[in-house]
């Protein structure tokens, strides 16, 4: 039992890799006019087929919860673009000089990266009006990515990404 708490804490910390999201939308859009959606046909998401299906299941579930319905003649299309990339390493070099009285000293420090480079995945969700063919809402997510994760972990991660990306849709508009 005394090992359970540290193990749970470790799992909690490792599973909480943050999903960063940037939102943008057209201020002139009347979001209440949109009640049906579909995906762009022949969309190249940048994800593999399995992750693509996982992501679309998560989107469908989230959209239903928001009262939006999947339709053959939608009010808007959802476009998904994803890419994986190596996160920038945080290498640092610092130089210092200081002194007091007659003593003068200096120093140099160098940050050396330890461990493997971290992979991140960016997924962009574009909502495009089907009549006007205009982008009216966008969310861009960036999160840690491990291609060697189990299917269950990948599904949970994609569900968390969708939940975080769509939590501010529709936006609260200021009048």
3-state secondary structure 92-150: CEEEEEEEECCEEEEEEEECCCCCCCCEEEEEEEEEEECCCCCEEEEEEEEEECCCCCC
Q: Report how far residue 122's alpha carbon sits from residue 67's, in angstroms, rounded to the nearest whole number.
A: 26
For residue range 59-115, list pLDDT tens digits in order.
Answer: 999 999 999 999 999 999 999 999 988 876 566 556 565 666 677 666 656 666 655
As beta bridge partners, residue 106 has 97
Tokens of 140: 């861009």
User: In order of start, what are the domains of the chain with their CATH numbers?
Assistant: 19-89+116-166 (3.30.160.670)
For residue range 3-15, list pLDDT tens digits in order.
Answer: 555 544 444 444 4
SS3 state at 153:
helix
Q: Report how far residue 157's alpha carbon sits from residue 50's, in angstroms, rounded to the nearest whole number.
A: 13
For residue range 124-159, list pLDDT tens digits in order.
Answer: 999 999 999 999 999 999 999 888 899 999 999 999
User: How big is the CA angle at 125 (ends 168 and 140), to the nearest 5 degrees?
Assistant: 70
Burial of 76 (0-12, 13-18, 19+ CB in 10 A): buried
């Amino acid at each position: 039992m005394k090992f359970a708490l540290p193990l749970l804490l470790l799992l909690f910390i490792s599973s909480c890799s943050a999903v960063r999201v940037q939102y943008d939308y057209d201020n002139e859009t009347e979001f209440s006019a949109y009640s049906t959606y579909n995906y762009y046909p022949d969309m190249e998401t940048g994800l593999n087929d399995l992750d693509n299906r996982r992501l679309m299941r998560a989107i469908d579930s989230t959209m239903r919860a928001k009262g939006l319905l999947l339709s053959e003649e939608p009010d808007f299309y959802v476009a998904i673009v994803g890419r994986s990339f190596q996160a920038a390493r945080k290498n640092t070099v610092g130089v210092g000089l200081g002194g007091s009285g007659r003593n003068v000293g200096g120093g140099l420090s160098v940050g050396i990266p330890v461990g493997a480079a971290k992979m991140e995945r960016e997924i962009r969700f574009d909502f495009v009006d089907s009549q006007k063919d205009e982008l009216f809402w966008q969310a861009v997510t960036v999160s840690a990515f491990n291609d060697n994760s189990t299917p269950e972990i990948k599904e949970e991660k994609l569900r968390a990404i969708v939940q975080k990306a769509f939590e501010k849709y529709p936006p609260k508009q200021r009048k």
